[in-house]
Protein backbone atom coordinates (compact mmCIF):
# COMPACT_ATOMS: atom_id res chain seq x y z
CA UNK A 1 0.00 0.00 0.00
CA UNK A 2 1.45 3.34 -1.04
CA UNK A 3 2.21 5.87 1.66
CA UNK A 4 1.18 9.45 1.31
CA UNK A 5 3.50 12.43 1.68
CA UNK A 6 7.09 12.91 0.64
CA UNK A 7 9.01 10.16 -1.07
CA UNK A 8 12.36 9.10 0.41
CA UNK A 9 14.20 10.97 -2.36
CA UNK A 10 12.38 14.23 -1.75
CA UNK A 11 12.85 13.86 2.00
CA UNK A 12 16.57 13.38 1.46
CA UNK A 13 16.83 16.42 -0.76
CA UNK A 14 14.92 18.57 1.70
CA UNK A 15 17.08 17.29 4.52
CA UNK A 16 20.24 18.14 2.63
CA UNK A 17 18.87 21.58 1.90
CA UNK A 18 18.12 22.20 5.57
CA UNK A 19 21.59 21.00 6.54
CA UNK A 20 23.21 23.32 4.01
CA UNK A 21 21.12 26.25 5.24
CA UNK A 22 22.06 25.49 8.83
CA UNK A 23 25.74 25.31 7.91
CA UNK A 24 25.54 28.63 6.03
CA UNK A 25 23.88 30.24 9.04
CA UNK A 26 26.62 28.93 11.32
CA UNK A 27 29.34 30.30 9.04
CA UNK A 28 27.58 33.67 8.88
CA UNK A 29 27.29 33.82 12.65
CA UNK A 30 30.95 33.01 13.22
CA UNK A 31 33.60 35.71 13.23
CA UNK A 32 34.37 36.50 9.60
CA UNK A 33 38.01 35.86 8.69
CA UNK A 34 39.99 38.78 7.37
CA UNK A 35 39.98 38.90 3.59
CA UNK A 36 41.49 41.08 0.93
CA UNK A 37 38.94 43.06 -1.05
CA UNK A 38 38.98 42.37 -4.78
CA UNK A 39 39.47 45.82 -6.22
CA UNK A 40 38.17 46.57 -9.69
CA UNK A 41 40.69 47.34 -12.41
CA UNK A 42 39.45 49.83 -14.99
CA UNK A 43 40.90 49.10 -18.43
CA UNK A 44 40.37 50.24 -22.00
CA UNK A 45 37.84 48.58 -24.28
CA UNK A 46 39.15 47.87 -27.77
CA UNK A 47 37.89 45.29 -30.23
CA UNK A 48 35.70 43.58 -27.65
CA UNK A 49 38.63 43.04 -25.25
CA UNK A 50 39.87 44.87 -22.16
CA UNK A 51 43.57 45.66 -22.70
CA UNK A 52 45.69 47.87 -20.53
CA UNK A 53 47.18 50.80 -22.34
CA UNK A 54 50.31 49.87 -24.25
CA UNK A 55 52.09 52.78 -22.59
CA UNK A 56 51.63 51.31 -19.12
CA UNK A 57 50.46 54.68 -17.82
CA UNK A 58 47.55 55.44 -15.51
CA UNK A 59 46.06 58.47 -13.80
CA UNK A 60 44.18 59.03 -10.58
CA UNK A 61 40.40 59.36 -10.70
CA UNK A 62 38.79 61.07 -7.72
CA UNK A 63 35.19 61.57 -6.70
CA UNK A 64 33.39 64.87 -6.48
CA UNK A 65 34.54 65.15 -2.86
CA UNK A 66 38.17 64.43 -3.70
CA UNK A 67 38.09 60.80 -2.54
CA UNK A 68 40.35 58.42 -4.46
CA UNK A 69 38.14 56.16 -6.58
CA UNK A 70 40.52 54.32 -8.90
CA UNK A 71 43.49 54.45 -11.20
CA UNK A 72 42.29 54.59 -14.81
CA UNK A 73 44.29 53.75 -17.91
CA UNK A 74 45.87 56.74 -19.60
CA UNK A 75 45.51 55.78 -23.26
CA UNK A 76 48.17 56.67 -25.81
CA UNK A 77 48.30 57.61 -29.48
CA UNK A 78 48.85 53.96 -30.32
CA UNK A 79 45.73 52.99 -28.37
CA UNK A 80 43.75 55.47 -30.49
CA UNK A 81 45.09 53.86 -33.66
CA UNK A 82 44.26 50.38 -32.39
CA UNK A 83 40.73 51.47 -31.51
CA UNK A 84 40.18 52.98 -34.97
CA UNK A 85 41.51 49.80 -36.58
CA UNK A 86 39.10 47.68 -34.52
CA UNK A 87 36.18 49.97 -35.40
CA UNK A 88 36.95 49.83 -39.11
CA UNK A 89 37.12 46.04 -39.00
CA UNK A 90 33.72 45.83 -37.28
CA UNK A 91 31.91 48.60 -39.18
CA UNK A 92 30.94 46.66 -42.29
CA UNK A 93 29.38 43.75 -40.41
CA UNK A 94 27.45 46.04 -38.07
CA UNK A 95 26.13 48.13 -40.97
CA UNK A 96 25.08 44.96 -42.81
CA UNK A 97 22.73 43.87 -40.03
CA UNK A 98 19.07 44.58 -40.58
CA UNK A 99 17.71 47.65 -38.85
CA UNK A 100 15.38 45.50 -36.77
CA UNK A 101 18.27 43.31 -35.61
CA UNK A 102 20.37 46.32 -34.59
CA UNK A 103 17.42 47.58 -32.58
CA UNK A 104 17.11 44.20 -30.84
CA UNK A 105 20.84 44.12 -30.06
CA UNK A 106 20.77 47.62 -28.59
CA UNK A 107 17.64 46.86 -26.58
CA UNK A 108 19.55 43.95 -25.04
CA UNK A 109 22.13 46.48 -23.81
CA UNK A 110 19.34 48.30 -21.94
CA UNK A 111 18.22 45.02 -20.37
CA UNK A 112 21.72 44.41 -19.02
CA UNK A 113 22.04 47.99 -17.81
CA UNK A 114 18.83 47.45 -15.85
CA UNK A 115 20.50 44.59 -14.02
CA UNK A 116 23.38 46.86 -12.99
CA UNK A 117 21.33 49.85 -11.89
CA UNK A 118 22.79 49.93 -8.37
CA UNK A 119 26.37 49.63 -9.58
CA UNK A 120 25.89 52.43 -12.09
CA UNK A 121 24.15 54.55 -9.46
CA UNK A 122 27.04 54.13 -7.00
CA UNK A 123 29.57 55.19 -9.63
CA UNK A 124 27.50 58.14 -10.86
CA UNK A 125 26.91 59.30 -7.27
CA UNK A 126 30.63 59.19 -6.50
CA UNK A 127 31.63 60.85 -9.77
CA UNK A 128 29.08 63.65 -9.76
CA UNK A 129 28.56 64.20 -6.03
CA UNK A 130 24.89 63.20 -6.06
CA UNK A 131 22.65 61.68 -3.43
CA UNK A 132 21.81 58.00 -4.06
CA UNK A 133 18.22 58.71 -5.13
CA UNK A 134 19.31 61.39 -7.61
CA UNK A 135 22.02 59.14 -9.04
CA UNK A 136 19.55 56.29 -9.46
CA UNK A 137 17.13 58.61 -11.27
CA UNK A 138 19.91 59.54 -13.72
CA UNK A 139 20.74 55.88 -14.32
CA UNK A 140 17.08 55.10 -14.98
CA UNK A 141 16.90 57.99 -17.44
CA UNK A 142 20.07 56.72 -19.17
CA UNK A 143 18.49 53.28 -19.62
CA UNK A 144 15.26 54.82 -20.92
CA UNK A 145 17.23 56.98 -23.35
CA UNK A 146 19.10 53.97 -24.67
CA UNK A 147 15.74 52.28 -25.31
CA UNK A 148 14.44 55.43 -27.02
CA UNK A 149 17.33 55.51 -29.46
CA UNK A 150 17.22 51.74 -30.04
CA UNK A 151 13.61 52.16 -31.10
CA UNK A 152 14.69 54.42 -33.98
CA UNK A 153 16.79 51.69 -35.63
CA UNK A 154 14.01 50.52 -37.96
CA UNK A 155 12.26 53.88 -38.25
CA UNK A 156 14.86 56.48 -39.17
CA UNK A 157 15.10 55.27 -42.79
CA UNK A 158 11.33 55.70 -43.18
CA UNK A 159 11.57 59.27 -41.89
CA UNK A 160 14.61 60.35 -43.92
CA UNK A 161 14.33 58.10 -46.98
CA UNK A 162 12.07 58.91 -49.90
CA UNK A 163 10.78 57.88 -53.30
CA UNK A 164 11.50 60.82 -55.57
CA UNK A 165 9.35 61.85 -58.57
CA UNK A 166 11.35 61.99 -61.82
CA UNK A 167 10.37 62.80 -65.42
CA UNK A 168 11.59 59.51 -66.83
CA UNK A 169 10.69 55.79 -66.66
CA UNK A 170 12.77 55.18 -63.55
CA UNK A 171 12.34 54.59 -59.87
CA UNK A 172 14.41 57.05 -57.87
CA UNK A 173 15.00 56.31 -54.20
CA UNK A 174 16.96 58.16 -51.53
CA UNK A 175 18.26 55.79 -48.86
CA UNK A 176 20.22 56.70 -45.68
CA UNK A 177 23.41 54.72 -45.03
CA UNK A 178 25.88 54.84 -42.13
CA UNK A 179 28.92 57.08 -42.45
CA UNK A 180 31.39 54.47 -41.16
CA UNK A 181 33.74 55.03 -38.22
CA UNK A 182 32.63 57.83 -35.90
CA UNK A 183 34.79 59.40 -33.20
CA UNK A 184 32.79 60.56 -30.18
CA UNK A 185 34.12 62.82 -27.44
CA UNK A 186 31.89 62.25 -24.42
CA UNK A 187 30.61 65.16 -22.33
CA UNK A 188 32.72 65.98 -19.32
CA UNK A 189 29.88 66.92 -17.01
CA UNK A 190 27.57 63.89 -17.30
CA UNK A 191 29.40 60.61 -16.79
CA UNK A 192 26.62 58.23 -17.89
CA UNK A 193 23.50 60.02 -19.16
CA UNK A 194 25.45 62.41 -21.37
CA UNK A 195 27.64 59.54 -22.54
CA UNK A 196 24.63 57.43 -23.56
CA UNK A 197 23.03 60.42 -25.26
CA UNK A 198 26.08 60.84 -27.54
CA UNK A 199 27.00 57.15 -28.04
CA UNK A 200 23.59 55.75 -28.99
CA UNK A 201 22.78 57.97 -32.03
CA UNK A 202 25.66 56.87 -34.30
CA UNK A 203 25.31 53.22 -33.24
CA UNK A 204 21.64 52.96 -34.12
CA UNK A 205 22.17 53.28 -37.87
CA UNK A 206 25.19 51.00 -38.19
CA UNK A 207 28.23 53.16 -37.47
CA UNK A 208 31.16 51.88 -35.42
CA UNK A 209 32.40 54.18 -32.67
CA UNK A 210 35.66 55.17 -31.01
CA UNK A 211 34.71 57.03 -27.85
CA UNK A 212 36.90 59.13 -25.60
CA UNK A 213 35.30 59.04 -22.16
CA UNK A 214 35.00 61.86 -19.67
CA UNK A 215 38.49 62.60 -18.39
CA UNK A 216 37.46 63.39 -14.81
CA UNK A 217 34.56 60.93 -14.58
CA UNK A 218 35.46 57.88 -16.70
CA UNK A 219 34.36 55.01 -14.45
CA UNK A 220 30.70 54.69 -15.54
CA UNK A 221 31.91 54.53 -19.15
CA UNK A 222 34.08 51.51 -18.40
CA UNK A 223 31.25 49.81 -16.54
CA UNK A 224 29.10 50.39 -19.62
CA UNK A 225 31.73 48.59 -21.72
CA UNK A 226 31.35 45.57 -19.44
CA UNK A 227 27.67 45.61 -20.36
CA UNK A 228 28.50 45.90 -24.06
CA UNK A 229 30.98 43.03 -23.83
CA UNK A 230 28.32 40.68 -22.43
CA UNK A 231 25.59 41.81 -24.83
CA UNK A 232 25.24 40.95 -28.51
CA UNK A 233 27.07 44.07 -29.72
CA UNK A 234 29.95 42.71 -31.85
CA UNK A 235 33.46 43.40 -30.63
CA UNK A 236 34.92 46.54 -32.20
CA UNK A 237 31.58 48.24 -32.82
CA UNK A 238 32.20 50.31 -29.68
CA UNK A 239 35.70 51.11 -28.44
CA UNK A 240 36.25 53.23 -25.33
CA UNK A 241 39.42 55.05 -24.30
CA UNK A 242 40.16 56.81 -21.04
CA UNK A 243 42.88 59.36 -20.49
CA UNK A 244 43.83 62.96 -21.15
CA UNK A 245 41.57 64.59 -23.72
CA UNK A 246 44.23 67.05 -24.80
CA UNK A 247 46.44 64.11 -25.74
CA UNK A 248 43.85 61.87 -27.40
CA UNK A 249 41.35 64.10 -29.21
CA UNK A 250 43.78 65.65 -31.76
CA UNK A 251 45.02 62.18 -32.72
CA UNK A 252 41.46 60.96 -33.24
CA UNK A 253 40.51 64.09 -35.20
CA UNK A 254 43.52 63.77 -37.52
CA UNK A 255 43.17 60.02 -38.15
CA UNK A 256 42.49 59.41 -41.84
CA UNK A 257 40.30 56.35 -41.21
CA UNK A 258 37.80 58.22 -39.02
CA UNK A 259 34.86 59.35 -41.15
CA UNK A 260 33.02 61.61 -38.71
CA UNK A 261 33.54 63.29 -35.36
CA UNK A 262 31.15 64.27 -32.59
CA UNK A 263 32.89 67.15 -30.83
CA UNK A 264 30.34 67.73 -28.06
CA UNK A 265 32.81 67.00 -25.26
CA UNK A 266 35.82 68.74 -26.83
CA UNK A 267 37.14 71.41 -24.43
CA UNK A 268 36.73 74.95 -25.76
CA UNK A 269 40.48 75.54 -25.87
CA UNK A 270 40.92 72.55 -28.24
CA UNK A 271 37.92 73.17 -30.47
CA UNK A 272 39.62 75.23 -33.20
CA UNK A 273 42.59 72.85 -33.45
CA UNK A 274 40.34 69.78 -33.57
CA UNK A 275 38.07 71.18 -36.26
CA UNK A 276 41.08 72.22 -38.36
CA UNK A 277 42.54 68.72 -38.12
CA UNK A 278 39.20 67.14 -39.00
CA UNK A 279 38.84 69.40 -42.03
CA UNK A 280 42.07 68.12 -43.58
CA UNK A 281 40.33 64.97 -44.80
CA UNK A 282 36.81 66.46 -44.83
CA UNK A 283 35.37 64.61 -41.86
CA UNK A 284 31.70 65.02 -41.10
CA UNK A 285 31.42 67.10 -37.90
CA UNK A 286 28.70 67.35 -35.31
CA UNK A 287 29.31 70.38 -33.10
CA UNK A 288 27.85 71.46 -29.82
CA UNK A 289 26.14 74.77 -30.61
CA UNK A 290 28.28 77.71 -29.53
CA UNK A 291 25.28 79.10 -27.66
CA UNK A 292 25.08 75.94 -25.51
CA UNK A 293 27.46 75.78 -22.57
CA UNK A 294 28.24 72.15 -21.78
CA UNK A 295 28.19 72.77 -18.04
CA UNK A 296 24.65 74.17 -18.27
CA UNK A 297 23.15 71.63 -20.64
CA UNK A 298 20.35 69.67 -18.98
CA UNK A 299 20.79 66.03 -19.99
CA UNK A 300 17.60 65.16 -18.10
CA UNK A 301 15.59 67.27 -20.55
CA UNK A 302 14.19 64.72 -23.00
CA UNK A 303 13.10 67.42 -25.46
CA UNK A 304 16.69 68.67 -25.68
CA UNK A 305 18.57 65.36 -25.56
CA UNK A 306 16.38 62.92 -27.50
CA UNK A 307 16.92 64.19 -31.02
CA UNK A 308 16.43 62.24 -34.28
CA UNK A 309 18.69 64.79 -35.96
CA UNK A 310 21.56 63.53 -33.80
CA UNK A 311 21.04 60.19 -35.54
CA UNK A 312 20.79 61.83 -38.95
CA UNK A 313 24.09 63.63 -38.41
CA UNK A 314 25.97 60.37 -39.04
CA UNK A 315 24.09 59.21 -42.12
CA UNK A 316 24.98 59.60 -45.79
CA UNK A 317 22.08 59.92 -48.24
CA UNK A 318 22.42 57.54 -51.20
CA UNK A 319 20.25 58.01 -54.31
CA UNK A 320 19.48 54.93 -56.42
CA UNK A 321 18.00 54.86 -59.94
CA UNK A 322 16.25 51.75 -61.28
CA UNK A 323 14.41 51.28 -64.59
CA UNK A 324 10.67 50.71 -64.42
CA UNK A 325 9.52 47.50 -66.06
CA UNK A 326 11.33 44.41 -67.34
Consecutive H or E run containing 234: none
Q: Kindly give the confidence (pLDDT) of every residue in the chain, 326 residues in length, as a single tens digit, with 9 standing for 90 and above.
A: 444 554 555 445 566 677 777 776 766 666 666 778 888 889 999 999 999 999 999 999 999 999 999 999 999 999 999 999 999 999 999 999 999 999 999 999 999 999 999 999 999 999 999 999 999 999 999 999 999 999 999 999 989 988 888 888 888 888 899 999 999 999 999 999 999 999 999 999 999 999 999 999 999 999 999 999 999 999 999 999 999 999 999 999 999 999 999 999 999 999 999 999 999 999 999 998 777 888 889 999 999 999 999 999 999 988 888 888 75
Distance CA 305, CA 307 (A): 6
Cβ neighbours of residue 243 closer than 8 Å, sequence gap 6 or more: 53, 57, 59, 72, 73, 74, 75, 76, 79, 212, 215
Residues in the chain, how many?
326
Whether residue 107 contacts residue 247, with contact meaning beta carbons closer than 8 Å, is answered with no
Distance CA 274, CA 184 (A): 12
- Give burial (CB, 10 Å; 0-12/13-18/19+) of 125: buried
Amino acid sequence: MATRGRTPDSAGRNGSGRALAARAQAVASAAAPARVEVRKTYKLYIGGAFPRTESGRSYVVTGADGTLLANACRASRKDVREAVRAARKAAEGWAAKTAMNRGQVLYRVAELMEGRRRQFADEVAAAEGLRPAAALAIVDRAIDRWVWYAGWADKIAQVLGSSNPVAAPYFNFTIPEPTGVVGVVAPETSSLLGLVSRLAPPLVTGNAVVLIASERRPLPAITLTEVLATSDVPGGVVNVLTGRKAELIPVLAAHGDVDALDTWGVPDDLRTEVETLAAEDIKRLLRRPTTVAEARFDWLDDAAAERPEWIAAFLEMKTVWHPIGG
